[in-house]
């Protein structure tokens, strides 16, 4: 808020410490968030609703500061609706000694509308920023879950004995190849061509998109600099990682716009696959 006011070249003081005297002693009354253009007292809240205590506090500010207008803005409310409070004891120099706020009840003044527009810009930036954060987090989560789904799909194909088009028999295994600093991975199928030989063919290349990439990979706690193989083997869909059974694979995935990380953990011992 202060930054926005400065950009608009609006003068203000921030959180002045207000005091009053009682029995020759100073008593702290509070600190309004802003006094704008030496005319409007502004208090910013983030609560379910504005209370009577908030109203009374603003009236104390207006009385001590000898100001006519106070605004309470609650950014947690469903709708941004500034609470407008007038000081009934305020007498302007042009009112001839009478209360000068009777005409003010008709509606917002230009300066109030200007402040409200600033509040709307601030809250819009806040909402848009949060929506973008939620959107990117969901995009990363969905991409990680798609990888998990693909691994489970290859296990299901092995268990069901699914036949690949143009092949006469079901594959011996499926292989997923992951590499650090990449935005895609290959899905291969492995056919038995003789008792001692197999052939590997690429079934598809899955692309994450421009915003998500694999940052690093580790197997059993050790980083892997190159390609990592995850194989689901017939007939039970057992998982073998880099030709080793009973290993644990961790794939870290990052959203490039937020640097948020999700980790896919493949436990070759229990068969569990989770996203953390």
The domain segmentation of the chain, as residue ranges, is: 2-92+102-107, 129-275
Check pLDDT > 80 for residue 21.
no
Task: Indicate whether 114 pLDDT > 70.
Answer: no
pLDDT band at 69 (very low <50, low <70, confident <90, very high): confident
pLDDT category of residue 257 using cuts at 50, 70 and 90: confident
Confidence of residue 93 (pLDDT cuts 50, 70, 90): very low
127 — pLDDT class (breaks 50, 70, 90): low
Name the pLDDT band for 94 (thresholds 50, 70, 90): very low
Residue pair 101/70 in contact (Cβ under 8 Å)? The answer is no
* Listed residue (32, 35, 27) closest to 5, CA to CA: 35
Domain spanning 2-92+102-107, CATH architecture: Alpha-Beta Complex (3.90)
For residue 107, give both structure tokens.
Answer: 């509606």
**Residue 66 to residues 16, 23, 26, 89, 104, Cα–Cα distance (Å):** 14, 21, 18, 8, 17
> Mean of the per-residue pLDDT values for the chain?
84
Q: What are the pLDDT digits (tens) for 159-187?
A: 999 999 889 999 999 999 999 999 999 99
Contacts of 196 (CB under 8 A, 6+ apart): none
**Measured distance CA(87)–CA(100) in Å, rounded:** 9
pTM: 0.59
3-state helix, strand, coil in the chain (%, to 5): 30, 40, 35
pLDDT value at position 107? Answer: 57
What whole-number percentage of the chain has pLDDT above 90?
Answer: 46
């Amino acid at each position: 808020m202060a930054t926005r006011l400065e950009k608009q070249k609006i003068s203000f003081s921030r959180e002045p410490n207000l005091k009053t005297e009682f029995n020759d002693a100073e008593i702290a009354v509070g600190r309004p968030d802003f006094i704008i253009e030496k005319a409007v007292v502004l208090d910013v809240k983030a609560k379910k609703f504005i209370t009577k205590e908030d109203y009374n506090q603003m009236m104390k500010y207006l009385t001590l500061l000898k100001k006519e207008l106070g605004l309470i803005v609650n950014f947690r409310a469903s709708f941004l609706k500034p609470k407008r409070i007038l000081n009934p004891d305020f007498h302007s120099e042009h009112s001839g000694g009478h209360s000068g706020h009777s005409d003010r009840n008709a509606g917002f003044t230009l300066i109030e509308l200007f402040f409200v527009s600033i509040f709307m810009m601030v809250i819009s930036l806040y909402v848009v920023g949060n929506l973008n954060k939620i959107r990117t987090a969901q995009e990363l989560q969905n991409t990680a879950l798609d990888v998990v789904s693909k691994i489970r799909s290859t296990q299901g194909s092995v268990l069901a004995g699914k036949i690949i088009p143009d092949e006469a028999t079901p594959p011996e295994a499926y292989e997923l190849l992951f590499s650090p600093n990449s935005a895609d991975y290959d899905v291969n199928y492995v056919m038995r061509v003789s008792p001692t030989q197999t052939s590997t063919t690429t079934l598809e290349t899955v692309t994450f998109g421009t915003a998500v990439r694999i940052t690093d990979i580790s197997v059993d706690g050790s980083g892997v600099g190159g390609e990592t193989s995850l194989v689901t083997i017939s007939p039970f869909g057992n998982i073998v990682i880099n030709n080793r059974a009973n290993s644990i694979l961790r794939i870290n995935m990052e959203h490039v716009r937020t640097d948020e990380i999700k980790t896919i953990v493949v436990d070759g011992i229990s068969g569990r696959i989770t996203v953390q």
